[in-house]
Structure formats: C-alpha cells, structure tokens
Amino acid sequence: MPDAGMRLRRPGEVVEELRALPQSIILFVDDNVFCARDYVREVLRAITPLGKRWWIQAPTTIHEDPELIPLMAGSGCYAVSIGFQTASDLTIRNERIVQNHVLQYGALVRELHRHRILVDGTFMFGFDSDDRGTFEATGELIAGLGLDTYTFYFLTPYPGTEYFAQFEREGRILHRDWSRYDWDHVVVRPAQMSVEELREGVRRLTARLDRGYFLKNTLRHLPIHVRSWASPGLWKLLVSTGWSYWRSPILRD
C-alpha cells in the first residue's frame, strides 16, 4: 500500500495529460512512482496505447515484481535511472540503504536490457565508508554491470535533517552556501580522505569512463532504439542533458 501521505493522480488524468503533450519523448521526474505497485501497473497499462517513449527514475527493487519490467517496456519505457548509490555493501549497511544489494544489481540490469531498456546508474561519493579505493571499485562495478550511462553525485545532507545535524556536531559541514547543496559540490568533509582527494577521485573516474567506456556502450545499444533516436524530442533532451553534464561542477569546480 502507498504511504498515507502520498497523493496519487487518477490514471485517466495521467493519460489525458500525456495525450495533450506534443512531445513523443517524456521524462518522468517523480522518484516515488514505484512505491505503489498496484497503482503503477494500472498507469502503465493505461498509457500503453499512447505510443510515447519515456525515461524514469526507479529503485533497485523493480525486478522483484515479475510483471513490472515487461509492463514498463510495453508501455514505452526506453531508459531508467537507478540509484545504485555505491559499490560497497559495507556502505549500504552503514547508511541503511536497505533496498540495495550489490550482488543483485547484475540480475536487475540484465533483465532491463533483455527488455531493451537502457540503464543509467547513479552513484554517490563521500560516504564515511568511502576511501581512496572507492573510485576504482565503482568503475569496475559499472563496467561489470554493463551500464549504458552513469551519473555521479557528492553526498549532500539536507539542512534541517538529523543527517545534517550529525555532520554539524562532528564539525564536518564545510559551509552554509545553500546554492552549493545541489549534489554537484562537496559540502561535507569526508572521513577517510581529503576534500580534494574526493573531488579529484570523481573527476578522474569520470574522465576515464568517458574515454574508454561511454562511447563503446552508446554504439553497442544504439540499434536497440532506432525509433527513439529518430525523435527530435529525444535529441533536444540529449543535447540539453549533455550541456548540463559538461558544465557540471563535478568536472569544472
């Protein structure tokens, strides 16, 4: 059952809004969609006749429901962004990321690829368990899983939360310039490396993957989505995303 605080739109309203959009490529930004599995299955069935192609954020647990990924693919899903967060089971335990299990990532990615869905993996750096070996381990995991794209962020506790208060008590909050609390800047002093080692580790990993991995996988999966790649809407999305990526403070700051 969904949390009592969640507000779910009627599937018919979702269909009508999507039908009214001239774009054929849609990016869903709500990262709580999959909290209500019965509801999301109903929505997926309802939007299937629209013929839209769409990208969404999803948890690592979506493959636990055998109906879900086939429904996603059938209703037009061509890519998902998944918060794998870390390559370390120790970090998962310490940070209580209870839904993630590194050993299960491979089965999830294979199932999504089997249904011709591209996988963007998102990873966070700066956890207390992270050390100088974290970057190499993350690169190896990305290659081992065969991810199509990857997105990197720095650990960012939100002001007003207990997580933020914990770092504040430890004297590890670097500043209170809230404009930099955007996941692209280091705002907490790491436990096992310097701030510059954290920044440089992410920069080097990004540069190495971009040189030797990204293009190869883009070309490998390009034939899967000929219909999507022919869409002007998708090209606009990719150009916008690429521009934002190259201007990211992770690479430039």
Task: Please give the distance of CA 78 from its chain centroid, rounded to a whole number.
Answer: 14
Provide the pLDDT confidence category of residue 217 given band limits of 50, 70 and 90. low
* Cβ-proximal residues to 11 (8 Å cutoff; 6+ apart), any chain: 39, 42, 43, 46
pLDDT, position 230: 53
Provide the pLDDT confidence category of residue 89 given band limits of 50, 70 and 90. confident
Provide the pLDDT confidence category of residue 155 given band limits of 50, 70 and 90. very high
pLDDT tens track for 103-126: 889 999 999 999 989 899 999 999
Q: How far apart are CA 120 and CA 62, in angstroms?
A: 15
pLDDT, mean over the chain:
85
Q: How far apart are CA 108 and CA 61, in angstroms?
A: 8
CB 108 within 8 A of CB 72: no
pLDDT, position 1: 42
> What is the residue extent of each domain of the chain?
11-15+22-252
Residue 236 pLDDT exceeds 60: no
Provide the pLDDT confidence category of residue 241 given band limits of 50, 70 and 90. low
Which sign, positive or negative, has the C-alpha torsion 173, 177, 181, 182? negative
Going by C-alpha positions, the residue among 156, 144, 59 that lies closest to residue 100 is 59
User: How many CA atoms lie less than 13 Å away from 6 in the CB half-sphere?
Assistant: 15
Residue 93 pLDDT exceeds 50: yes
Residue 58 pLDDT exceeds 50: yes
Task: Please give the distance of CA 13 from its chain centroid, rounded to a whole number.
Answer: 26
Residue 100 pLDDT exceeds 80: no
pLDDT tens track for 7-42: 888 999 999 999 999 988 888 988 778 888 899 999
Going by C-alpha positions, the residue among 112, 103, 24 that lies closest to residue 68 is 112
pLDDT, position 96: 81
Provide the pLDDT confidence category of residue 63 given band limits of 50, 70 and 90. confident
Question: With respect to CATH, is domain 11-15+22-252 assigned 3.30.750.200?
Answer: yes
Using only the alpha carbons of the chain, give its radius of gyration. 19
pLDDT, position 218: 63
Provide the pLDDT confidence category of residue 222 given band limits of 50, 70 and 90. low
